[in-house]
Amino acid sequence: MAEVRPFRLTIRARLALTYSGLLVGSSALLLGFIYFALGVLPSYAFSSASVALIDGTMMQVAPLEPAQPDWLWADDVSYDAGFAATASTPGIVVASRDDLQQLYLWVAAGMLVLLAAGGSWAGWALAGRVLQPLHDIGVAARRAARGRFDHRLALTGPRDEVTDLADTFDDMLGELQSAFHAHRRFAANASHELQTPLATTRTMLDVALGARPDGAERALLERLRLVNERSIAAVEALLDLSQLERGGPIETAPVRLDRLVSEVLAELAPEAEAAGIRVRSELAPATAVASAPLLRQLALNLVQNAIRHNEPGGEVVVETGPADASPARLRVANTGPVVPPEAVAALTEPFFRAPGRVATGGVQGRGLGLSIVAAIAERHDAELGLAARDGGGLEVELRFPAA
């Protein structure tokens, strides 16, 4: 069970808050020091003089003087109300040290608000630029987790910790790509090499059976031919899997998933009837953008797997239809033996068989059916989900991406 992690801000958000906090904090310290300096350090004295406009000329007057000239109160004299005065509010007149400090506090508060807003924006942008290489590494890691190793970061710029990490990651992708290509080439070459002797063995067994042997000799030849046919089927499946994993472009077009699955069910109906398996289908209209041959092979493998790994008198449920976040969905569920939850994730590995999953009707699987399904789903960027059913059996759901 995945560990539930508590909520935490992203690294980018934390870096942005850190940058903004450092900027605002340092600015607050600087402004606080200036405020302290304005109140303590200078030895200047303030005057209560105001500024008057007399005959178009700015002049200072001292209203505290006991007597003022008569001409000073003439009608053509106007007084300046102070800094930032308006018609409805008195101006800010700095006439004492307290007035100066109060004015400074208002200006400093406005500056801190602007610094906090600007610092947050600049910190967010700077953190995004710094963390962009890490985001690219994460994208490449997710591609590698899906088996795609052809992507390279190739970061440019001066050498530092981030570029060293990116170069190391590129080297790792190169090594993984070489190893996986070597593995796939080996599987493909081995399959090709096995095709010829298996085909030769089939011909020799057909000739021997054509001679109409009797008794134990015929039973042995038929048994050998059955084993040979299973080997040929496994080799062909390996070739298909190798071709799918090799990549390359595929031709896609809108495909009616419900119609395609209906044809597959009709094709497999005799096998299901022979095994005593009841197939129930709910095929709602659904369209997927995919390769029709590959999609047919996927549906064939899923339904065939559900029929063969079942129990006598069991059931197979096949559903198609639109999903909440994708245009098409395919679900195949079957009864059968209980599948251990820890073995579900390994069912898509080649030749893996979960304990208890024994084929019915004497038809032995190749252990490659779900591996091919997973490879086809990956080629179509579809989401493949497997889950063990409580009463036994397996449920497979395929969700196609939006077109």
Residue 153 lies in a domain: no
Among the candidates 245, 279, 307, a domain finishes at 245
Query: Rounded to the nearest 10 degrees, what angle do helices 292-308 and 257-275 cross at?
Result: 30
Which position has the higher pLDDT, 48 or 142?
Answer: 142
Contact 187, 220 (CB under 8 A): no
In a shared domain, residues 236 and 259: no
Mean predicted confidence (pLDDT) in 344-368:
63
Segment 132-170, tens digit of pLDDT:
877 888 888 888 776 677 778 877 777 777 778 888 888
Domain boundary among 245, 270, 294: 245
> Mean pLDDT across the chain, nearest whole number?
75
> Are 220 and 354 in a shared domain?
no
| For residues 11-33, average pLDDT | 78
Residue 379 belongs to domain with CATH number = 3.30.565.10
d(Cα 113, Cα 116) in Å, to the nearest integer? 5
* Residue 366's pLDDT band (cuts 50, 70, 90): low
Give the angle subtended at the CA of 390 by the CAs of 384 and 392, to the nearest 5°. Answer: 85
Would 393 be classed as within a structural domain?
yes
Q: Which of 210, 245, 280 is the last residue of a domain?
A: 245
**Looking at the domain assignment, is residue 148 inside a domain?**
no
232/263 same-domain check: no
At 5, the amino acid letter reads: R
Q: Which pLDDT value is given to residue 355?
A: 56
Residue 150 in any domain: the answer is no
Say which residues have a Cβ less than 8 Å from residue 39's Cβ, sequence separation at least 6: 97, 101
The answer to whether residues 267 and 379 belong to one domain is: yes
Shared domain for 343 and 268, answered yes or no, is: yes
Residue 93 covered by a domain: yes
| pLDDT at residue 247 is higher than 70 | no
Question: What tens digit of pLDDT does each residue of 302-345 get?
Answer: 999 999 889 888 999 999 988 565 678 999 999 988 888 888 88
Per-residue model confidence (pLDDT) at position 77: 45
Band (pLDDT 50/70/90 cuts) for residue 53 is very low
Entry pTM? 0.52
Residues 311 and 237 in one domain: no
Q: Residue 191: enclosing H or E segment and its boundaries? A: helix 161-210
In a domain, 2, yes or no: no
Q: Is 186 in the same domain as 258?
A: no
Same-domain status, 109 and 139? yes
Q: What is the pLDDT of residue 265?
A: 94
- For residues 16 and 139, membership in a common domain is answered with yes
User: For 247-252, what is the mean pLDDT?
Assistant: 69
Q: Could you give the number of structural domains in the chain?
A: 3
Q: Is 248 helix (H, G, I), strand (E, B) or coil?
A: coil
In this structure, is residue 154 part of a structural domain? Answer: no
My answer on whether 260 and 389 are in the same domain is yes
Binned at pLDDT 50, 70 and 90, residue 72 comes out as very low
Domain with 32, as residue range(s), is 11-143
What pLDDT sits at residue 281?
93
Based on the fold, state whether residues 306 and 360 are members of the same structural domain.
yes
Tokens of 87: 């018609």
Structure token pair of residue 114: 């602007």
Instruction: Say whether both 288 and 387 belong to one domain.
Output: yes
- Give the count of alpha carbons within 13 A of 187, CB side only: 20
Distance from the first to the final alpha carbon of the chain:
33
* Cα–Cα distance for residue pair 339/12, rounded to 1 Å: 43
pLDDT of residue 348: 80
Answer yes or no: is pLDDT of 115 > 50: yes
What's the CATH number where 188 sits? Answer: 1.10.287.130
The three-state (H, E, C) secondary structure of 221-236, written as one string: HHHHHHHHHHHHHHHH
